[in-house]
Amino acid sequence: MNLEELKALISSGEGETLEVKETTGQRVDACETLCAFLNKDGGTVVFGVGKKGKIIGQLVSDKTKRELFEVFAKFEPAADIVVEWVDVDETHKAIVCKVERGNMRPYVYDGRPYKRVQSSTTVMPQEEYERMLAERKGFQSDWELEINSDLKLSDLDENEIRKTARMGVAEGRLPESTDINNVIGLLDGFKVRKDGALRNAAAVLFCKEDTDYMQCLLRLARFKGKDNQIFIDNKQITGNIFRLIDAGMAFCFNHLSLSGVINGTYREEHLEVPAKALREALVNALVHRLYVKRGSSVSLAIYDDRVEIINPGTFPSNITMAELRAGNKSEPRNPTIARVMYSRKTVETWGRGIKLMLDECAKVNLPEPQIVAEGGYTKTVFMRPAQKDSTKTTQKSPQKTTLKTTQKTTLKTTQKILNLLRQNPSMTRMQISDAIGLSLEGVKWNLDKLKASGIIRRIGPDRGGHWEIVGEYE
C-alpha cells in the first residue's frame, strides 16, 4: 500500500471496518478493535492519523515494532494480522494493520471478547460469546446426537417413521431391503437411537403433535401492514419437522395470493412468491437451525410487502455468502437430521438450497431474497409483488370482489381434484400435482380442506390406500 492508497482508504472516515489511531501508544485500544473486527467481518486499524483524518505518521523503531508484536501475541486463538509500513515522509511511517473475518471465532484479546457496533468497539455480551464459542467447537452440533433420557418410543410417531422409510426406498435413497415394519431397526439405521436410548434428533424428526419439546415449534403470523403491531392470524404449531414444514406451507397458501396461467388444457396456479423458494427457505431454517437453545423456535411471518423466515443460528464461518449462493459448499449444522431429510427427499440436493431460492424468484421477476445472519439468527426475506390499488372496488363492496375471486379459484381447483379422484381414487398427491399443474403444497392444502369439510376421507395408509368421496363441494 502506498500513501495515495492509504488516503483513499481513510477518506470515508471510521466505521464498522476502519479505525484510526494517532500513535502506537494506543495499541491496546487498537487490539481491542482488531479483536472486534475478527469477530465480525474483518477490518483495518491505521496508526499515524491525526486530527481531522490527516496522515502524520510516526517514528518507527525496533522498539516500536517489538511493542506492537508483543500485544499481538495476546490474541486467542492466534490472529493473522497483516502489517504494512507506509512511508509518509523521510522519517515518519503510517502503520496499517489488517485482519480478515476470523475462521476461529470468537477471538479474545487479553482474555476478553470484543464486538464492533458501527464505529464503536464494545465488550461482547457473555451470551453471544458462548454461542459463538459453541459454534467454533463444531458448527455441526452435538445436540442432535445427545441421548435424551426423557424421550420414549411412545413419544414418537411410528407412522411418520415408516413413511420416511417408505419414501426413502421409493426414491432410491434407502436400500430396497429396508424393513419398513421394524421401527426399532429404522431408528437405529437413521442414527437417532444408540444402545437402546433415543437421541435428541429423534424428537425433531419423529415426535408426536403434542410434544413437550420447545424446540419442536413453529410460530406463524400474518400481520396487517408492514410492521408487527396488528395480527390478522397467529398460530403456534408443535410436532415433528415434517408436520412443521407442511403447516408452514399451508399457512403461506392460506395468506398469499394465487395466480392462474392456462397451460394446454389445464390452469396452472402459482403462489405470488414461488412455493419452491418458500419451502426451501423453511426447510433450511428447520434443518440447519441451532437447536441447543431451549425455548428458541423458527418463525414465519407474512406482511403486506414481504415474507420473513427467521431461525436461531448463523452460517458456518468458513463458508462465504458467495459460496452459499453458488451452491458450491454444504456444511449442515445437524448432519443426522439433514441425512434423514435427504433420504426422504425433503432435502433435494446438498448445498443447492439458496441457489434454488434465487433461481425461483428470478423466474417470476421477483427481487432476490435477502439473507442476513446477525445476532445469532438468520433471516430470509422474500419481497411480495406490488399489490394493485383496489381502492375503488373496496369502497363499493369491501369484501365481495376478493371473496368472489378466491371462491372461484378454489372452486375450480377443488372440482378438478374431485373429478380426478372420481376417475382414480388411488391417485397420489404427486399424480394430482402433475395432472393439474399445482404444486405439491397446493395439492395438500386443497386435500386437507376437502377432508376438513367432510367431502373426502382417506381409506388405508398413505401408500396403498385410496380416497373416498363422501360429500359434494358446494
> Residue 351 in contact with residue 174, Cβ under 8 Å?
no
Give the other-Cβ count within 10 Å of 108's Cβ.
Answer: 18
3-135 CATH pick, 3.30.950.30, 1.10.10.10, 3.60.21.10, 3.90.226.10: 3.30.950.30
- Mean pLDDT, the chain, as a whole number? 85
pLDDT band, very low/low/confident/very high, at 60 (cuts 50, 70, 90): very high
Strand-strand pairing, 298-302 and 108-109: unpaired
Where are the CATH 3.30.565.60 domain residues in the chain?
217-383
217-383 CATH pick, 3.20.20.70, 3.40.50.150, 3.30.565.60, 3.30.950.10: 3.30.565.60
**Is there a cis peptide before residue 335, judged by omega within 30 degrees of 0?**
no
pLDDT the model gives residue 141: 63
Q: What is the amino acid identity at position 271?
A: L
pLDDT band, very low/low/confident/very high, at 58 (cuts 50, 70, 90): very high
**Separation CA 449–CA 122 (nearest Å):** 53
Where are the CATH 3.30.950.30 domain residues in the chain?
3-135
Average pLDDT of span 333-362: 85
Is 70 exceeded by the pLDDT of residue 138? Answer: no
Please indicate whether residue 404 or residue 331 has the higher confidence score (pLDDT).
331
Q: Is 8 exposed, middle or buried (0-12, 13-18, 19+ CB in 10 A)?
A: exposed
Q: What is the pLDDT of residues 91-112, one digit of tens each?
A: 999 999 999 998 788 999 999 9
Residue 71: strand, helix, or coil: helix
**Separation CA 464–CA 418 (nearest Å):** 19
pLDDT band, very low/low/confident/very high, at 387 (cuts 50, 70, 90): low
- DSSP structure class, residue 432: H
Q: What is the amino acid identity at position 148?
A: N
pLDDT band, very low/low/confident/very high, at 357 (cuts 50, 70, 90): very high
Handedness of CA 223, 229, 235, 236 (dihedral sign): positive
Instruction: For residue 82, list its beta bridge partners.
Output: 98
Kindly state the helix (H) or strand (E) to which residue 4 belongs, with its residue range.
helix 3-10
Is 60 exceeded by the pLDDT of residue 131? Answer: yes
Q: What is the pLDDT of residues 74-92, one digit of tens each?
A: 999 888 899 999 999 999 9
Is 70 exceeded by the pLDDT of residue 317? Answer: no
Average pLDDT of span 169-175: 87
**Separation CA 274–CA 436 (nearest Å):** 17
- Whole-model pTM: value is 0.60
Is 70 exceeded by the pLDDT of residue 215? Answer: yes
Is 50 exceeded by the pLDDT of residue 57? Answer: yes
Where are the CATH 1.10.10.10 domain residues in the chain?
391-469
Which range, of 233-242, 302-311, 406-415, averages the lowest pLDDT? Answer: 406-415
CATH topology of domain 391-469: Arc Repressor Mutant, subunit A (1.10.10)
Instruction: For residue 299, list its beta bridge partners.
Output: 219, 310
pLDDT the model gives residue 180: 92
pLDDT the model gives residue 213: 77
Average pLDDT of span 356-367: 93
> Residue 316 in contact with residue 102, Cβ under 8 Å?
no
- 240 φ, ψ (degrees, to nearest 5): -70, 170
pLDDT band, very low/low/confident/very high, at 132 (cuts 50, 70, 90): confident
Residue 218: strand, helix, or coil: strand
What does the DSSP assignment read for 138-199? -SS-SGGGSB-TT--GGGB-HHHHHHHHHHHHHTTSS-TT--TT-HHHHHHHTT-EETTEEB
pLDDT the model gives residue 139: 56
Cell numbers standing for residue 306: 414481504
